[in-house]
């Protein structure tokens, strides 16, 4: 039998405000927000991307203790790349 996780199950256990948000909807919202920030460019695009980075940072801080070191590294790397993109659109 396969050890695959159901796509409908939560990624991390918990009962927080985002626990009921489907992962696909959250992914789509982040992609749209990121695309808007990159396409708008300039100060407005940078503000959109920094706001996205702030949200990612808050989520990372909230889940830090339940993440494995490799997961922490990957998420911090994504956060740094997002900040770099935000700086580059200025």
User: What does the block give as tokens for 68?
Assistant: 């494995």
pLDDT digits (tens, 9 = 90+) for 14-71: 777 777 888 899 999 999 999 999 999 999 999 999 999 999 999 999 889 989 999 9
Contact (CB, 8 A) for 82 and 49: yes
The per-residue pLDDT for 16 is: 75
* 27 CA to centre of own chain: 8
Which of 64, 56, 58, 53 is CA-nearest to residue 12? 64
State the residue for tokens 């990121």: 34
Interior angle at CA 23, CA 6 and CA 20, nearest 5: 95
Alpha carbon separation from 25 to 31, 33, 71, 79, 82 (Å, rounded): 10, 12, 21, 20, 20
* 0.75 exceeded by pTM: yes
The residue among 53 and 12 whose pLDDT is bigger is 53
The per-residue pLDDT for 8 is: 63
């Amino acid at each position: 039998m396969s050890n695959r996780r159901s796509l409908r199950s939560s990624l991390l256990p918990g009962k927080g405000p985002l626990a009921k948000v489907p992962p696909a909807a959250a992914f789509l919202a982040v992609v749209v927000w990121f695309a808007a920030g990159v396409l708008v460019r300039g100060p407005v695009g940078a503000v959109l991307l920094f706001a996205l980075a702030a949200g990612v940072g808050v989520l990372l801080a909230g889940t830090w203790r339940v993440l494995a070191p490799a997961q922490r590294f990957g998420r911090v790397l994504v956060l740094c790349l997002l900040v770099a993109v935000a700086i580059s659109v200025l």
